[in-house]
Amino acid sequence: MTVCPSCGQENPEIARFCLRCGLPLAGTGTRRARREERRLVSVIFVDLVGFTSRAARLDPEDVQALLRPYHHTVRTEIESFGGVVEKFIGDAVVGVFGAPTAFGDDAERAVRAALAVRDTAAAMDAADPRLDLKVRIAVNTGEALVTLDARPALGEAMIAGDVINTASRLQSAAPVGSVLVGEETHRATNEAIRYAPAPAVVAKGKEQPVPAWVALCEERDPGERPLVGPLVGRSNELEVLRATWERVAVDRRPHLVTVIGPAGVGKTRLAVEFAAMVEDRGGRAVHGRALPYRESTAYAALAFQLKQLCRIFETDSVDAARKKLEDAVSTLLPPAEAKSVTEHLGILLGLDSSGTIADRENLFLSIRSFIEAVARNEPMMLVFEDLHWADDALLDLVEMLAARLQDLPILVMVLARPELLDVRPGWGGGLVAHIALMLRPLDERDATDLAVHRLADLSAEDSVDRAADLAVLAGGNPLFIEQLAAALAETGEAPTSLPTTIRGIIAARLDALPAAEREVVLDAAVSGRVFWRGALERMMADPQSLTTALGELERRGLVTEETVSAFEGDQQYSFNHVLVRDVAYDLLPRARRRERHREAALFLEEVSGEFGEVEAALARHWRDAGDHSRAVDYFAVAAADAERGWAKEHAAALYREALALVPESDAERRQEITRRLALAKAASIHILDARLLGRGDSKTG
């Protein structure tokens, strides 16, 4: 069967023209180049219990009538959490989170979606017992090969990998009406979801039983993290904020403060510390967050703040809440104004489902009147968190507040990831009193401090020794420090792969990039932490666009152009964050990696001339390009260089790398390298002895 590259029509093998659009199908060009990536995905598998046997007894139309609303419901739930439905297998539904786009908390979304499906199915069943709707659900997380441009309508699968088979096994083992999850899902979500242990699942084709947990309920709102432990660093930022608050509270000058930084860098923590400072000084601080998904209304973040200002609790009845709102408004505003403000805010707070607001201007006016009235009594701060997830309506509202409030002690604080500036490049521009704080990662000392605390909390061994390495690996990102510390404490040793949560967050950051920039990041990752423009030019179809892409990546803080380059006339760049490089590299499927390594090797051969320094790099590029014989040659040269410089241990390591690549059949070559390895090892032991002696001397002396 040949699929038409233009319209997707399936044509019989003998067809020379597409049956549907007439495009010539002859030649090899008809196979589409598939865009594939290795991605971390969470698969949700939902199946109806005992439906197959029931379906056999029913008329096909009745089966359809039963299944359609159910399928629709499951799909809607999955999509509302940001997942995609991969396929329907009979009455089973398979959904995917983390592909084609990652949001950074994909495993958590998948489990929340599973719980929502569980509850909705139960409600449907209760409403109509004749349906006899009983489900089993599983969520499993793992690496998969993802075809980004798959067309499910043509039966093309988007994901392939063991992760999906295991999800299916877990699903069949799930207790009726419950959600069972696998190990990686549990690890990535156990802070947000409450679990009960379940018996491991014995699965066909698996040596070990698969560990499993039953998901019980949500324990935390999406995007929320507990803030524990002492604050480290950030004294400069807090000083700027303190000074700003003085101007707000004392001079009664409203300010907008925007704190921009990537996920986990500490925006929320900073705002919490600042809010405590504000309250200490007699101000009032209220918080509201934009949610990543399933937001009930556009203004939910503001509604949350208004509730705090009126002291309305989620547990209050509608009547009680309305009463509190009326009281709050009528004590602050004259009766003529109070009526419409109460009405508008009531609608905004979801207390009045029948009313409507004539237009947005009226709504904004009411909000402004109320907030101004509050601020006349006490200085206050409104914190809008995670505004990169807000839609236009909320962004407009915040900008309006920042622009129109006058001569009042109000500070509007906005926390957002850099993506906010993609949708609103001019954010805060034109305002007299706007302060933008770019929140940087912690510096090395503070990061190490934090790592020491976290490792000690988890009573990890050698915490002080390991803290510095961990802080560097995390690139000073406090969230990454916490998660790496947790991974290290769990296994007792440096984890061999990155925690799922970190991979997810970084993958989401890469997915948010424009396509051209993202491609550059993936290709550059093959070169390593440091890369050269020339190598990228070899890999790219359109080298012209490279300048723009690299400039943009630098602006976004992902890469830096270095002032000196190892190769004359070739711009040298480095990734700011080694984890970004690693995650980008992990996304590449093996074939593309090999190809890119080859280009990188050819580039290095071309530019490096006679110098010996790049041999080890060349050896590794050729190895990863699949050309082992060239790789061995380079390893041998690099090792010999190292020996000459009396770096005997390093030489031995290089010989070992070489040896791993020489086939058993090449006895001569193996012998030769083994002999040189032995020599280098012997020499390095002498060096070690000498060093130990030296140390002994200095101790006694």
- The footprint of ligand ADP (CB under 6 A) covers 225, 227, 229, 231-234, 261, 263-269, 450, 478-479, 482
Q: Which 3-state string (H, E, C) describes 243-297? A: HHHHHHHHHCCCEEEEEECCCCCCHHHHHHHHHHHHHHCCCEEEEEECCCCCCCC
Residue nearest to Mg ion according to CB distances in the complex: 268
Interatomic CA distance for residues 316 and 322, integer angstroms: 9
- Report the partner that residue 261 touches, choosing among ligand ADP, Mg ion, none (CB closer than 5 to 8 A by kind): ligand ADP
The least distance separating ligand ADP from the CB of residue 258, rounded to whole angstroms, comes to 13
Measured from the CB atom, the residue of 254 and 478 that comes closer to ligand ADP is 478
The least distance separating ligand ADP from the CB of residue 441, rounded to whole angstroms, comes to 10
Measured from the CB atom, the residue of 104 and 534 that comes closer to ligand ADP is 104
**How many residues sit in the footprint of Mg ion (CB under 5 A)?**
2
Q: Which of 440, 594, 602 lies closest to 535 in space, CA to CA?
A: 602
Measured from the CB atom, the residue of 83 and 261 that comes closer to ligand ADP is 261
The least distance separating ligand ADP from the CB of residue 446, rounded to whole angstroms, comes to 7
Measured from the CB atom, the residue of 147 and 501 that comes closer to Mg ion is 501
- Within positions 660 to 699, which residues make up the interface with Mg ion, using CB under 5 A? none
Binding mask 245-274 for Mg ion (x = CB under 5 A): ----------------------xx------
Measured from the CB atom, the residue of 164 and 442 that comes closer to ligand ADP is 442
Whether the bond into 100 is cis, omega within 30 of 0: yes
Instruction: Extract the tokens encoding 255.
Output: 């300010």
Q: What angle (nearest 5°) sits at the alpha carbon of residue 691, between those of residues 689 and 696?
A: 95
Residue 450: how many other CB atoms lie within 10 Å: 26
- Report the partner that residue 83 touches, choosing among ligand ADP, Mg ion, none (CB closer than 5 to 8 A by kind): none
- Report the partner that residue 231 touches, choosing among ligand ADP, Mg ion, none (CB closer than 5 to 8 A by kind): ligand ADP
Are the beta carbons of 255 and 405 closer than 8 angstroms? no
Measured from the CB atom, the residue of 82 and 182 that comes closer to ligand ADP is 82
The least distance separating ligand ADP from the CB of residue 583, rounded to whole angstroms, comes to 17
* Amino acid present at 646: W
Measured from the CB atom, the residue of 5 and 418 that comes closer to ligand ADP is 418
- Report the partner that residue 452 touches, choosing among Mg ion, ligand ADP, none (CB closer than 5 to 8 A by kind): none
DSSP 78-142: HHHTT-EEEEEETTEEEEEESSSS--S-HHHHHHHHHHHHHHHHHHHHHH-GGG---EEEEEEEE
DSSP-derived letter for residue 523 is H
The least distance separating ligand ADP from the CB of residue 454, rounded to whole angstroms, comes to 9
Secondary structure (3-state) at 424: coil
The least distance separating ligand ADP from the CB of residue 332, rounded to whole angstroms, comes to 32
- Report the partner that residue 285 touches, choosing among ligand ADP, Mg ion, none (CB closer than 5 to 8 A by kind): none
Interatomic CA distance for residues 30 and 524, integer angstroms: 30
What are the Cα distances from residue 696, in Å, to 337, 686, 692, 693? 85, 15, 6, 5
Measured from the CB atom, the residue of 8 and 418 that comes closer to Mg ion is 418
What's the half-sphere exposure (Cβ side, CA atoms, 13 Å) at 591?
6
Interatomic CA distance for residues 375 and 358, integer angstroms: 26
Residue 686: how many other CB atoms lie within 10 Å: 10
The least distance separating ligand ADP from the CB of residue 225, rounded to whole angstroms, comes to 5
The least distance separating ligand ADP from the CB of residue 193, rounded to whole angstroms, comes to 17
> What residue ranges bind Mg ion (CB under 5 A)?
267-268
